[in-house]
């Protein structure tokens, strides 16, 4: 694996924004932007490289009049192809790549910018593109009038105000905004406690009550806010409720639902796992009531048909906020990437956060619990198959747990979700055991169970995300600061 940075700046006629994560084949429209003066600057950065592939980010800054939609084009001259992209839609024909905005980032005000990211394939050299064109105008860094100046006095009515930027200002960014700014966008974002994007107003989770089997969807109180726990309390009054769906906030549809039977059948009818009691993990965020996901043995959630989750040896990152005092030695309280058939498909077919004090496959210092990586047929606390002294026991009431991996490189990080910064417990090569380099990740998502539907574990989950690309420590540190500011108590 080789990491490096390649960049090129260009400017020109139309304002541009881009958050490019996925490069591949897709069909998109070609919206046209209107502007009286056009100008843009593009920064193209290769954030990581590995044999046969690379990750890149694109930032477009609009130097001209506001635009309401955009289309950015460039040419790859060395046979590179986009394989995965986020914060945009793309098409590629030969070396010609076109990326257009998605519904939430089409408007770019004067002086505003946005970014998109992608993963690509490259079989030889990987030179940066030399020219970018926005809405038909080559980016040159200047501003060019596209309509003649008015010869009559300006209207007496004031011009429309500049639309707000599509990217929230730094002080209001939530975890997935921060990952997107770091060119490693969320491809799955799950939380029953709060929104994970500053602009998110959609569904967080669904509950079903026992009295009549009807359901209620819970949303944030405000955009980017805490869950409307009062709505759940009212709906579930004088009965019990179960959490039936944990919605994916990323827009990719990677929702978590009742885990199906796999290598091990679950205790619910049909061999499914149990659903979590919706009121068993109350919490507050800056004084506002919310509920987590209380996983008792036998409980599990899963999605085996995902969109955009890392496969094979593709890079990814993930974090989860957990109750560091609720755990056991059962297998396996996981959140992350798993097999798509709910079976044990061999070493390296998983990459998930594990939390608990199971010592059968691996362990760290002390008596646990530990943050480890479930890579299938092994819980790894470092490079060694069993014991790694640098992975400490950690049991904060609210715990931040991080696992991230890329070709022959991975890391464990963690910290107190209520205060302070993150610590790195491992940062190095893949385990020194056959079958984990390269990885063979399959791209399902699990919560509370092992990849083969082992369901003997216990734990509590509040929020977590999975990213496209390998996040930097700096990005994760910014996410940690936001988690602390969220005020879990």
Determine which one of 351, 452, 463, 476 is catalytic: 452
Q: Is 344 a catalytic residue?
A: no
Determine which one of 248, 376, 391, 442 is catalytic: 376
* CA distances, 383 to each of 48, 116, 393, 430, 481 (Å): 22, 33, 17, 6, 28
* CA distances, 251 to each of 102, 186, 313, 337, 372 (Å): 11, 9, 24, 18, 28
List all residues 6 or more positions away from 416 whose beta carbon is below 8 Å from its beta carbon: 396, 398, 399, 400
Q: Is 177 a catalytic residue?
A: no
Annotated catalytic sites, by residue?
Answer: 376, 452
């Amino acid at each position: 694996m080789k990491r490096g940075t390649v960049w090129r700046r260009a400017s020109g006629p139309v304002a541009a924004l881009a958050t490019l994560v996925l490069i591949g084949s897709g069909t998109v429209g070609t919206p046209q932007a209107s502007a009286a003066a056009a100008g843009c600057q593009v920064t193209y950065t290769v954030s990581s490289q590995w044999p046969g592939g690379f990750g890149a980010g694109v930032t477009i800054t609009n130097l001209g009049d506001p635009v309401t939609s955009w289309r950015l084009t460039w040419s790859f001259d060395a046979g590179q192809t986009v394989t995965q992209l986020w914060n945009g839609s793309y098409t590629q024909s030969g070396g010609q790549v076109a990326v257009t905005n998605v519904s939430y980032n089409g408007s770019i005000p004067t002086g505003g910018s946005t970014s998109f990211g992608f993963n690509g394939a490259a079989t030889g050299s990987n030179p940066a593109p030399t020219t970018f064109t926005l809405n038909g105008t080559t980016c040159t860094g200047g501003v060019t009038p596209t309509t003649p100046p008015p010869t009559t006095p300006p209207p007496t009515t004031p011009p429309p105000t500049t639309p707000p930027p599509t990217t929230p200002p730094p002080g209001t960014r939530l975890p997935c905004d921060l990952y997107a700014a770091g060119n490693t966008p969320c491809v799955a974002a799950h939380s029953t406690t709060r929104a994970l994007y500053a602009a998110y107003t959609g569904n967080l989770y669904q509950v079903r009550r026992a009295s009549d089997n009807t359901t209620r969807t819970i949303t944030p109180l405000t955009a980017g806010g805490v869950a409307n726990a009062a709505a759940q309390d009212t709906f579930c009054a004088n009965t019990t409720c179960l959490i039936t769906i944990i919605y994916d906030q990323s827009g990719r549809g990677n929702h978590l639902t009742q885990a199906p039977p796999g290598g091990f059948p679950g205790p619910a009818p049909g061999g499914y796992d149990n659903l979590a009691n919706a009121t068993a993990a109350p919490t507050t965020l800056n004084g506002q009531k919310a509920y987590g996901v209380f996983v008792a043995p036998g409980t599990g959630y899963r999605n085996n048909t995902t969109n955009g989750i890392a496969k094979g040896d593709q890079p990814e990152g993930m974090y989860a906020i957990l109750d560091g005092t609720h755990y056991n030695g059962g297998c396996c309280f996981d959140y992350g990437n798993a097999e798509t058939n709910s079976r044990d498909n061999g070493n390296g077919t998983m990459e998930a956060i594990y939390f608990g004090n199971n010592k059968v496959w691996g362990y760290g210092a002390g008596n646990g619990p530990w943050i480890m990586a479930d890579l299938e047929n092994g819980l790894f606390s470092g490079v060694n198959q069993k014991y790694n002294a640098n992975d400490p026991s950690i049991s904060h009431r609210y715990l931040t747990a991080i696992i991230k991996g890329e070709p022959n490189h991975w890391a464990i990080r963690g910290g107190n979700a209520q205060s302070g910064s993150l610590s790195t417990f491992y940062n190095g090569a893949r385990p020194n055991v056959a079958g984990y380099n390269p990885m063979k990740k399959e791209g399902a998502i699990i919560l509370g169970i092992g990849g083969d539907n082992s369901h003997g574990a216990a734990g509590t989950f509040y929020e977590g995300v999975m990213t496209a690309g390998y996040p930097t420590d700096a990005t994760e540190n910014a996410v940690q600061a936001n988690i602390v500011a969220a005020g879990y108590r």
